[in-house]
Amino acid sequence: MKYFSSVFLMLLFVTFTVEAQINIPAPSPAASLTQVVGLTDVSLSYSRPNMRGRKIFGDLVPYGRIWRTGANATTKLTVDRAISINDKTLKPGTYSIYTIPQEDVWEVVFYTDPSNPLIAEFDESKVALRINAEAMNLDYAFETFTILIEDVTSNGATLGLLWENTYVGIPFKVGTDEEVMASIDATLNGPSAGDYYNAAVYYLNSDKDISKAKEWMDKAMEMTETPMFWQLRQQSLILAKAGDIKGAIAAAKASLEGAKKAGNKDYIKMNEDALKEWGAK
């Protein structure tokens, strides 16, 4: 009898061990997303439930109640620099994102407790930022709950929430310009050719003082023994924007020659298009 019991227990152990080795997919799989916006790292982690034939907003996700903005754990946002949402500052850190969906407007709350608290009401001491965002109806349905970081520029982006036929966009800004300008001011007291070049390109792309960009690019080129074709390309764009078409053509031709030697088809085309636009012969 004792032998039978031992064999039975062993078989039971083997059975459960085999069962424990079977992996099945999660019904709401985890997802993560990281995007650099300007100089700011923005990361998201969340779970992605599916509609599976269900009515979502106003039913599975009731209107007027706190939603964890996904399934399983709460959705989490991490930023390594301060960002601005609706002119309100969200400090660097990790936050749970809660929403209170309504038919036309959602309340969005960034909560300082990222430990997955499934709450029925907010502890106001943990509410870092609260905004309202418009809920837009789409002509098509998103089967899987999706969060995007879209419309990315150097100065901001939009956090987009999509599920069923609803889209909620949460634009945010980052402090890129202030940080870059402070870096330029601090660095150009004893700059290298690369510092002058980077400052000039930033001024070009940010529509800042083009004469200052030209001055810095000129210094960068003076300090560079053999400018590369991509550097000459940026110089040509700055010269053209500053109104020096003759100088822009000369720089573009030099860039074109370098691009041909390097076999870079993209730069060959960009320079040929620019030269045609500027009326080069």
> How would DSSP label each residue in 172-190?
EEE-HHHHHHHHHHHHTTS
> What is the β-pairing status of strands 30-37 and 156-174?
unpaired
Diameter over CA atoms, the chain: 103
Q: What is the pLDDT of residues 201-253, one digit of tens each?
A: 999 999 999 999 999 999 999 999 999 999 999 999 999 999 999 999 999 99
Averaged pLDDT score across all residues of the chain: 90
The answer to whether residues 171 and 158 touch, using CB atoms and an 8 Å cutoff, is yes
What span, in angstroms and rounded, lies between the C-alpha atoms of 233 and 231?
5
Domains parsed from the chain with CATH numbers: 24-174 (no CATH), 177-277 (1.25.40.10)
> Checking phi first, is residue 86 left (phi over 0); if not, alpha (psi -120 to 50) or beta?
left
Q: How confident is the model at residue 176 (pLDDT cuts 50, 70, 90)?
A: confident
**pLDDT recorded at residue 221:** 94
DSSP string for 26-55: -SS-EEEEEEEETTEEEEEEEE--B-TT--
**pLDDT recorded at residue 188:** 78
The answer to whether residues 158 and 169 touch, using CB atoms and an 8 Å cutoff, is yes
Q: What is the pLDDT of residues 3-58, one digit of tens each?
A: 444 444 454 444 444 455 887 778 788 999 999 999 999 999 999 999 999 999 99
**pLDDT recorded at residue 190:** 73
Mean pLDDT of 184-197: 84
**pLDDT recorded at residue 230:** 95
Instruction: Flag whether pLDDT at 104 surpasses 90.
Output: yes
**pLDDT recorded at residue 20:** 59
**pLDDT recorded at residue 8:** 47
**pLDDT recorded at residue 22:** 80
**pLDDT recorded at residue 105:** 97
- Going edge to edge, which strands form the sheet with 30-37? 30-37, 40-47, 75-79, 93-100, 105-111, 127-153, 156-174, 83-85, 88-90
**pLDDT recorded at residue 14:** 47
